[in-house]
């Protein structure tokens, strides 16, 4: 490998891609202008992601779950009067529904962070 062609190494997880660009031969121009060398990167292959490419699907699904759960938690006051009518219980007993949802969400979050 010559000094004017740097070797580039990309790593992703345990796999690595190493290549050195091979410049194309500059084509001669008719009017004597200097031409720039262009590197040929056609031999580059990217490594396969360790999750098979499903990482963005999991991220989107987790986002949708969090939007639905947080939407229900933080809008519990909107549903509170309807729940009072439907269950026919006292305000304190009906409030346990929202409190249990919020408490479970916060407590389980601590354990979900453990590796």
Tens digit of each residue's pLDDT (9 = 90 or more) over 51-91: 778 888 999 999 999 899 889 888 999 989 999 999 999 99
Residue 12 per-residue DSSP state: E
Q: pTM, whole model, 2 decimals?
A: 0.46
Task: Return mean pLDDT, the chain.
Answer: 77
Q: Given a cut of 80, is residue 20 above it in pLDDT?
A: no
| Domain ranges, ordered by start, for the chain | 1-50, 55-112
* pLDDT band at residue 49 using 50, 70 and 90 as cut-offs: confident
Three-state helix/strand/coil letters over 33-60 = CCCCCCEECCCCCCCCCCCCCCHHHHHH
């Amino acid at each position: 490998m010559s000094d004017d062609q740097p070797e580039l190494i990309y790593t992703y997880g345990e796999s690595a891609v190493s290549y050195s660009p091979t410049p194309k031969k500059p084509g001669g121009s008719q009017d004597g202008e200097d031409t720039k060398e262009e590197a040929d990167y056609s031999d580059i292959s990217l490594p396969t992601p360790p999750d098979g490419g499903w990482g963005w699907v999991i991220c989107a699904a987790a986002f949708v779950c969090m939007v639905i759960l947080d939407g229900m938690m933080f809008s519990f006051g909107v549903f509170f009067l309807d729940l009072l009518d439907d269950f026919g219980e006292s305000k304190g007993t009906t409030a346990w529904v929202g409190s249990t949802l919020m408490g479970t969400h916060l407590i389980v979050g601590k354990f979900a962070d453990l590796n």
